[in-house]
């Protein structure tokens, strides 16, 4: 069996010199250009970075541009819906969501007909955004015409439990819109590769990038990663897009033979069938003892 699809990811230039609505307008213009550029290769799914047009706005302005979801008449959702319909492609994009008196760092899926499919509210907030955003508490998987799609955002990469939950729900692809900084040079890429291998699905991660790229900055490298942990497409440290044709039924074939091969033809059957959920109970307990906490962590602070 074969399910070949073309996946695309975007790396967007982040500008500190643009302020408030100037920044918003620049990012929306860039997003539009990248989507239409990528559309020339006729992708089935394009993923844009985390909260890309709202990230640098002040609280006052962010409150004003936040959108209720779904609201296909709201500026960003309307723009993305029109583009998705025009280029006949599913799109995942990040924005600030307003829900009652709360705000969420959210991602929205629009199908290739321009219709709303669903949303994901970021569950694991990084410390620097807790002042503004509330944390989500659901881990959904969505049905698209190309397969089942899960979504995570940035900091979620460090919590493998939620990635396994999506995989158990049948996610073929997990989108990872983000705006992270890689202070080691390979931390982010290594974690993405590990998530793809552990769960035997495809990951489309989409980043922001600063130019020129320097260590500790927004680093780009929006990638498409397969279940082997291999990069199928990569934007590098540059703004732009990358795309690749993948087969969603192509996972890592297990190397055993005989009866074991019949039972475990791929690593996905092996990994998932051999789980021991009855032993994982402590993962769901409130951690009051914090036995993991270092007593004397080494912290280097400049004088």
Q: Is 302 a catalytic residue?
A: no
Measure the CA angle with vertex 126, ends 23 and 62; round to 5°: 30
Q: How far apart are CA 238 and CA 219, in angstroms?
A: 8
Phi, psi of 6 (to 5 degrees): -105, 120
233 token code pair: 């497409």
Active-site position among 67, 98, 119, 122: 122
232 close to 250: Cβ distance less than 8 angstroms: no
Q: According to the model, what pLDDT value does residue 236 have?
A: 85
Go through the domains of the chain in sequence order and give each one's CATH number. 4-252 (3.60.110.10), 253-286 (no CATH)
Strand segments (E) across the chain: 4-13, 45-47, 90-99, 102-110, 116-121, 141-144, 147-151, 173-177, 202-206, 208-209, 223-225, 231-234, 240-247
Helix 75-87 vs helix 20-39: crossing angle, to nearest 10: 10
Active-site position among 97, 119, 148, 154: 154
Residues 6+ positions from 188 with CB-CB distance below 8 Å: 157, 178, 180, 182, 219, 221
Of the CA atoms within 13 Å of residue 12, those in its CB half-sphere come to: 32
Q: Is 122 a catalytic residue?
A: yes
Q: According to the model, what pLDDT value does residue 213 have?
A: 66
Helix 160-168 vs helix 187-199: crossing angle, to nearest 10: 30
Starting at the edge strand found earlier in the chain, the sheet holding 202-206 runs: 141-144, 147-151, 173-177, 202-206, 223-225, 231-234
Q: According to the model, what pLDDT value does residue 129 have?
A: 93
Measure the CA angle with vertex 157, ends 156 and 160; round to 5°: 95
Measure the CA angle with vertex 48, ends 69 and 42; round to 5°: 110
Per-residue pLDDT of the chain (303 residues; tens, 9 = 90+): 689 999 999 999 988 888 889 999 999 999 999 999 999 999 999 999 999 999 888 999 999 999 999 999 999 999 999 999 999 999 999 999 999 999 999 999 999 999 999 999 999 999 989 999 999 999 999 999 999 999 999 999 999 999 999 999 999 999 999 988 766 667 888 999 999 999 999 999 999 987 766 666 666 789 999 999 999 999 988 899 999 999 999 999 999 999 999 999 999 999 999 999 999 999 999 999 999 999 888 888 765
137 token code pair: 């508490």
Burial of 174 (0-12, 13-18, 19+ CB in 10 A): buried
Q: According to the model, what pLDDT value does residue 228 have?
A: 95
Q: Is 50 a catalytic residue?
A: yes
Q: Is the pTM of this model over 0.75?
A: yes
Residues 6+ positions from 135 with CB-CB distance below 8 Å: 121, 122, 123, 124, 125
Q: What is the DSSP letter of 186?
A: S
Q: According to the model, what pLDDT value does residue 303 have?
A: 59
């Amino acid at each position: 069996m074969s399910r070949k699809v073309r996946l695309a990811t975007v790396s967007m230039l982040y500008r500190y010199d643009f302020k408030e609505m100037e920044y918003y307008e620049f990012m929306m213009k860039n997003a539009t250009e990248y989507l239409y550029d990528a559309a020339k290769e006729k992708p089935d799914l394009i993923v844009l970075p985390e909260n890309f047009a709202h990230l640098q706005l002040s609280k006052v302005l962010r409150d004003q541009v936040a959108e209720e979801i779904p609201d296909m008449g709201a500026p960003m959702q309307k723009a993305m819906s029109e583009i998705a319909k025009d280029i006949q492609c599913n799109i995942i994009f990040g924005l600030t969501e307003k829900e009652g008196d709360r705000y969420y760092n959210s991602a929205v899926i629009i199908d290739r007909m321009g219709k709303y499919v669903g949303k994901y509210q970021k569950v694991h907030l990084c410390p620097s955004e807790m002042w503004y955003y509330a944390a989500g508490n659901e881990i959904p998987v969505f049905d698209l015409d190309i397969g089942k799609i899960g979504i995570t955002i940035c900091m979620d990469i460090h919590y493998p439990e939620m990635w396994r939950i999506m995989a158990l729900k049948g996610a073929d692809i997990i989108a990872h819109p983000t705006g992270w900084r890689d202070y080691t040079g390979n931390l982010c890429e290594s974690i993405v590769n590990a998530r793809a291998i552990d769960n035997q699905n495809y990951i489309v991660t989409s980043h922001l990038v600063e130019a020129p790229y320097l260590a500790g900055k927004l680093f780009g490298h929006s990638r498409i990663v397969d279940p082997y942990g291999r990069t199928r497409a990569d934007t590098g440290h540059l703004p732009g897009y990358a795309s690749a044709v993948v087969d969603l039924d192509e996972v890592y074939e297990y190397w055993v033979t005989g009866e074991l091969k019949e039972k475990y033809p791929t690593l996905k059957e092996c990994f998932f069938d051999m789980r021991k959920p009855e032993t994982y109970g402590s993962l769901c307990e409130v951690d009051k003892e914090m036995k993991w906490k270092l007593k004397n962590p080494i912290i280097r602070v400049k004088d």
